[in-house]
Structure formats: C-alpha cells, structure tokens
Amino acid sequence: MSKETLVKSIREIPDFPVPGILFYDVTTLFKKPEALQELSDTLYEMYKDKGVTKVVGIESRGFIMGSILATRLGAGFVPIRKPGKLPAETIEESYSKEYGTDTIQMHKDAIGEEDVVLLHDDLLATGGTMAAACKLVGQLKPKKMMVNFIIELKELDGRAAFSDEIEVKSVLEL
C-alpha cells in the first residue's frame, strides 16, 4: 500500500464540525486492515530508534494510533482528554483553535523527567491543540518531546506553532 492509497482512503466531510471547515476523517483508514497495518508500520519505522518511553495521544482519534504505536515501541500510553474525563489529579491547558476555545487535561503523574515523549494526533491544521498539549506535557519536564500526525495540512502552516526544539513529523501531507 502506498501513501497515495492512504490519502485516497481518507473521507472528506465539508462543514464539520462548523460551516467552512473541511474535516478529514481518518476513521476510514482505521477500518481497513491493510491501511491500519501500513500506518502502524510507518509510524513504528519513524520512531523505533528514538528511545520513546511514553506516547501521548490526544482525544480521541489520537488514542487509536497512539496506543498501537506505544505497544509496538514497548512504551507506555498517556491520554490527554477534555476536562472531567480523567479520574485522578490532573493538570490542564486552555487554548484557542480555528473554531473556538478548548481545554485539555492530563494526569499529573503521567510523565516523569526521564521520559522521552512522543505526542500523537490525527491532524495538524493550525497547531493549536498540539501546541497546548506540548505546553501541558512540558509542565512535567520530560527529557525530550517529539510530535507526530497522520495528516498535515501544509497550507495552514501548523508547524509554526512549535519551537525548533520539538521535532514535528507527519505521515501524509495534504
């Protein structure tokens, strides 16, 4: 399977979640075994030698490949969620995004200073959600942070939201 085949497998939904937004639905990739395996293999090859100890997935689509990647890398998995969804003591970060504001939370004890952290989500648009996730993880002072997306919307220049210290990679660029 090629990256072109993966791109063709992505469903586009206009005006979701609000008018004017073109939503790229990666669940169509997840439901095809060969596409899911291709994504898993590609992500594993990208990070197998990076010493990742924790993979952080952003609610909710980031949980899917984030968990798979954590398992393949022999790393732990840490969820970042919307407020009120995590049962223990949390830290949080609020941010603006292209169609409103939001807040994300993570367990306060999820990451240590010796961790090498890979943050994963499905899509890089303007970078607001992941930049907030990096600030959130950064509060716990890990040794290193890297960021990964399945899809990057190049025309929105979301990479500008991250410092040069954070390696940002995408599987697909649209």
Predicted confidence (pLDDT) per residue in 64-109, tens digit: 999 999 999 999 999 999 999 999 999 999 998 766 789 999 999 9
Q: How far is CA 150 from the centre of its chain?
A: 8
Q: Which among 68, 60, 173 has a CA at the least distance from the CA of 118?
A: 68
Q: What is the chain's mean pLDDT, rounded?
A: 94
Predicted confidence (pLDDT) per residue in 114-144, tens digit: 999 999 999 999 899 999 999 999 999 999 9
pLDDT band at 5 (very low <50, low <70, confident <90, very high): confident
How far is the C-alpha of 103 from the C-alpha of 71, rounded, in Å?
Answer: 27
How far is the C-alpha of 82 from the C-alpha of 103, rounded, in Å?
Answer: 6
Domain residue ranges of the chain, discontinuous segments joined by +: 49-173
* pTM, entire model: 0.94
DSSP3 helix / strand / coil % (the chain, rounded to 5) = 30, 35, 35
In the CATH hierarchy, which fold is given to the domain comprising 49-173?
Rossmann fold (3.40.50)
User: What residues are labeled active site?
Assistant: 61, 98
Q: What is the pLDDT of residue 101?
A: 87
